[in-house]
Chains A and B, each alone.
Chain A
Amino acid sequence: MADLSLNLAGIKSPNPFWLASAPPTNSGYQVQRAFEAGWGGAVWKTLGEPILNVTSRFAAVGFNGQKVAGFNNIELITDRPLEVNLREIYETKKRFPNHAIIASLMVEPTQEKWHEIVKRVEEVGVDGLELNFGCPHGMAERGMGAASGQVPELVEKQTMWAKEVAETPVIVKLTPNITDITFTAQAAVNGGADAVSMINTINSLAGVDIDTWDTIPNVAGKGAHGGYCGPAVKPIALNMVAECARHPKINVPISGMGGVSSWREAVEFMLMGATGVQVCTAAMHHGFSIVEDMKDGLNNYLDEKGIDSVMDLVGKSVEKYSDWGNLDLNHQIVAKINNDVCINCNKCHIACEDTSHQCIDMLKDENGNDILRVREEDCVGCNLCSIVCPVDGAIDMMDYANGKPPMTWNERQAAIGAASSCEVDLIK
C-alpha cells in the first residue's frame, strides 16, 4: 500500500485528489459527502460578494456519441451569503480535520477587500487559500477573475495583498486565457504565492443549435461565452503545467487540473510537475464515487512501479519536456504493421495516402489474402497510422537504426553559426 498523502506548500491531505472550486463544492453538505466518498481535499466554491446567476448555466460537447467530452459553464462564484459559507466551512473542517479545505476567493482588486476576506476566511480554520484569478465569464466583466488574472501586475499586486495578512498557504489560480501562462505564474511567484494552480476554464461557446440558431447554452435566446473544461482540455492544461514546472523562475508547487477524469490523468499531471490534482467535470458527470477508483488505481499503479509515496511522482517527467530545438533530428522510427493482428479496415492506408506520406501499400500475400505493408524507406514515423488503427497491437512504431549520431536543431544551428563565424574571421 503506497502512501497517497499529499503535501502542497504545507497543505496536507490524505490523498492527491481534491475537488476543484466549482459547483461540487458549493456547500458543506456537498463537501462532506465528498469527503465521505474519499476525496482528499476540496477547494470551496469561490467566496466573494454574493452574485446572481442565470438559467441555464451548463452545456457539454459530445463526440461520436461520447457524452461530456468537454464541458462549458456560465455559472458564477457562490450565490450564498459569506456567513453561511463560513459557518459550513467551520462545521466541515470540524468533522473532517484531516482533509484539506481550501477557500477560493475573489474580490475587487483593492488591498482593503483582500485583507478583509482573507482574515474572515482564515478565522474559520481553512487549510489554505486559492485566489481565483481565472474565472473567465461574468466576473471578468466586473474586473475580477480572469480580467485581473490576465494582467501580470494585477496578479502580483493582489497576491501581495493577500499574502500581507494570510497565515495559511496562498495558491494563485491562473487563467489559461492568455498567450503564455508562465508570465502570470511568475507574477504570482513575485507576489509571494506559495503555490499556483492551473488551469481555470477556457473561454468557450459550446455550440449553436442548428435548428433554432440559438447559442448553447442560452438564456432566453441569448448567450455569452463560458468556461470550458472536461476531458477535451487535458492536453492544454498538461502543457501549461509542464511549461510552468520546467520554468526556472517558477519554483513553487503546482496544483494541476483540467480534464483529470481518472488516476491516469492524475499520474500524468504529477509526472509533469503537479503536486496533486483538482477535479470537477468528472465528478459532475458521474458523482463523487469516482474517487474510489482514482485512489485504488493510483495505489495499484504505485505498488506495481515500486514507488512508496505519491509525492515521488511529482515532476519526474519534467526534464523530458523541452523545446523543439532540443529534439534529435536524426532519431528515426517507422511503422510496422502486424498482419496477424490487423483486421484490414485499411484506415492506416487511407490516412497515410490522403493526409500523410503515402507509404502504406494494400497488397496480397502469397495466399491471396489482403495485407498492408509499410515502405519503411518512405515512412517519416509520424504515428498517424497507429493513431487511427482501431486494434491494439496491429501497428507498432519501431526504432529504426539509421546509424546517424544525435543532432538537434539547436546543435545544428550552433555548428553552422560557428562555421560561418570562422569564415568571417578568415576574411578579416
Chain B
Amino acid sequence: MTQLKSKGISLENLKSNFEEVHQGLNNQEAMEEANRCLYCYDAPCIKACPTSIDIPKFIKKIASGNLKGSATTIMSSNPVGATCARVCPTEELCEGACVLNHSTQPILIGDLQRFATDWAIKNEQLLFKPGEKNGMKVAVVGGGPAGLSAARELARFGYEVTIFEAEAEAGGLDTYGIVSFRLPQDISRWEVDQVRQMDVEIRTNTRVGTDVTFQELSDQYDSIVLTIGMGNVPMLGIEGEDLNGVHDAIEFVKSTKSGPVTEELLGKNVVVIGAGNTAIDAATCAARKGAADVKIVYRRTVKEMTAYDFEYDFAKQDNVEFNWLTQPIEIIGDETNQVTHLKCVKMALGEPDADGRRRPAPVEGSEFVMEADAVIKAIGQTRYSDLIENFGLDHEDGVVKVNPESLQTSNPKVFAAGDVIFAKGQGEAMVVTAAQQGKEVAMAIHKQLAPAPTAAM
C-alpha cells in the first residue's frame, strides 16, 4: 500500500482530519504507472493476491482506456475490491511480489486498483448481473466483507440470497471499523450497493439470535452462511474499567465513522492499550479528534507489535507516542468516576510463548502513573461464542470449526467465512482473506446444492 502521508492535524476543523488521507492517482499518473507494468506471464502478483485478481489484465485495461473492463476484472475476483485497493497491505501481497522489486520499483498496484474502482464508483457503474434464478435460497448471517462476497457470488450463481445484518448498514468493518481517513464509508456503501443490485435482500437492524432465530433460518433456507465476524474488545481484567472515559477501540472507531466528529477529546490526554492495527486506528482517531497527547502502551516491544509497518509510521506522523514494555495495571478515576490516570508497570521479555513471541513479565517495583483523560482498550476482539453455541456449531474458543476445503461447519447446512473462522496463528485477519473465503463458501454451497451440469459455471 502506498505510504500514507499525514497532512497535519487541524484543531479548527476536526472533520477535515477524517477526510481520506491518500489522494489517489490522477489520470496521467495512473496511465504512466499502468504503462510501466510489464504484463508478466503467470504473474507473481496474481498468486500473491488472496482473491487472485488478474492484476496484469486490469492494469492493461487501464492503459488501454477500458476502465469499465478494468473495474469488472477487479470486482469479479474480489467483491470488495474497492475497499481492498485502500486497505490491503499491498507491500506484503501483490506489490511485494511484483518482479520489478528486483529491477526498479514495484508497480503501485493498490493505487491502480483504486483508480479503476474509483472510476466505477464515480460513474455509477453496475458491473454484474444476477444469474438465472435456480429456485434455491441462502441466508447470509452478517453483511461484512465475507458475507457480501458470498452473497454476490451466490447471486451470480442464481440463488435467492438474504443477508441478515445487525447494524443499520451492511459492510461490517469496511463500513464501521476501518478509519474514515483510510476508507471513507461511501466506498463500502458502493460495494454493498453492488451486491444489493444483484437482487440480494439486505435486512439491516436484524440480529440473528434475537430478531430471527437460527431455527427459522434453517427452516426457510437451503443453506446458511455464517459471516458474523468478531465482537468487541474484551475486558482487561483490571480495576477501573467501568469508569467514564474508558472506551472500547472498536466502538470508538465506529463512533468516528457515523455522525459528526465530536470535540470531547480536544486538548485531552489519551492512552490506547495495545499495539495492533485497531490500536493504531484508535490512536490516530484520537489524535485527529484533537487530543493533545496520545500514547500507546504495549506490554511487549516494537518487534512483537502486530500492527503493519505503514500503520506504525502513520501513527508516528500523527505524533502518537509509543510506550513499549508497559503493562496497565489500574485505571484511576476521580470522585465523579471520570478517568484521570493510568497506572502501569514496566515489563521485561522472557522466553518465547506458544505463538513464538517472547513472553513479557513485570519488573518489580517499576510501577508508575500517567495522566489520562481517556483510556481506549485495543487488546483484541471477543468472539460471539454464545451465538455460535446457539447455532449448535462446533467451535474452539469462539472460532467456528470448518472443513478447510469446503468451509463447511459441523452442521452440513452451515458454512462459515471471515473473522468467525479466523484463529490464532493463521496469518492476518485481512479484508481480502474474508472476501476470498466468501467466494469459496459460495462455490462450496453451489457444489453441494446445484445439479452437476451447472456446477462448473
Contacts and interface: CB of A to CB of B under 8 A. Distances in A.
B38 to A, nearest CB: 5
A347 interface: yes
B42 A343 contact: no
B63 A345 contact: no
Contacts of A347: 38-41
B100 interface: yes
Given A64-B35, A65-B31, A65-B35, A346 B42 contact: yes
B192 to A, nearest CB: 33
B41 A64 contact: no
Nearest to B36: A65
A362 B40 contact: no
Interface in B89-114: 99-100, 102-103
A235 interface: no
Nearest to B63: A64
A391 B103 contact: yes
Interface string A380-415: 000000000011000000000000000000000000
Interface string A323-353: 0000000000000000000011111011000
A13 to B, nearest CB: 39
B63 A346 contact: no
Given A64-B63, A350-B41, A362-B42, A345 B35 contact: no
Contacts of A390: 38, 103
Interface residues of A, number: 12
A76 B40 CA distance: 45
B66 to A, nearest CB: 12
Contact of A346 (B35, B41, B102, B103): B41
Contacts of B44: 344
Interface string B41-79: 111100000000000000000010000000000000000
B397 interface: no
B32 A345 contact: no
Interface in A156-172: none
Contacts of B39: 347
B59 to A, nearest CB: 12
A343 B35 contact: no
Contacts of B35: 64-65
Given A65-B31, A349-B41, A344 B99 contact: yes
A350 B40 CA distance: 9
- Most chain B beta-carbon contacts within 10 A, residue among A64, A345, A362, A391: A345
A346 B41 CA distance: 5
B31 A345 contact: no
Interface in A174-219: none
A349 B63 CA distance: 23
Nearest to B42: A346
Contacts of A345: 38, 40-41, 43, 99
Given A64-B35, A65-B31, A65-B35, A343 B102 contact: yes
A351 to B, nearest CB: 8
Contacts of A346: 40-43
Nearest to B39: A347
A359 to B, nearest CB: 15
Contacts of A344: 40, 44, 99, 102
A66 to B, nearest CB: 8
A64 B33 CA distance: 10
B36 to A, nearest CB: 8
B200 to A, nearest CB: 35
Interface in B17-39: 31-32, 35, 38-39
Contacts of A343: 99-100, 102-103
Contacts of B43: 345-346
A76 to B, nearest CB: 34
Nearest to A350: B41
- Most chain B beta-carbon contacts within 10 A, residue among A344, A349, A350: A344
A119 B7 CA distance: 71
A343 B63 CA distance: 22
Interface string A36-68: 000000000000000000000000000011000
A356 to B, nearest CB: 13
Given A64-B35, A346-B42, A362-B42, 14 more contacts: A65-B32, A344-B44, A345-B38, A345-B43, A346-B40, A346-B41, A347-B38, A347-B39, A347-B40, A347-B41, A349-B41, A350-B41, A390-B38, A391-B103
19 contacts: A64-B35, A64-B63, A65-B31, A65-B35, A65-B63, A343-B100, A344-B99, A344-B102, A345-B40, A345-B43, A345-B99, A346-B40, A346-B42, A347-B38, A347-B41, A349-B41, A350-B42, A362-B42, A391-B103
The 10 A-B residue pairs with the shortest CB-CB distance in the complex, in nearest-first order: A350-B41, A346-B41, A65-B35, A343-B102, A343-B99, A345-B40, A64-B35, A345-B99, A345-B38, A346-B42
Interface of A: 64-65, 343-347, 349-350, 362, 390-391
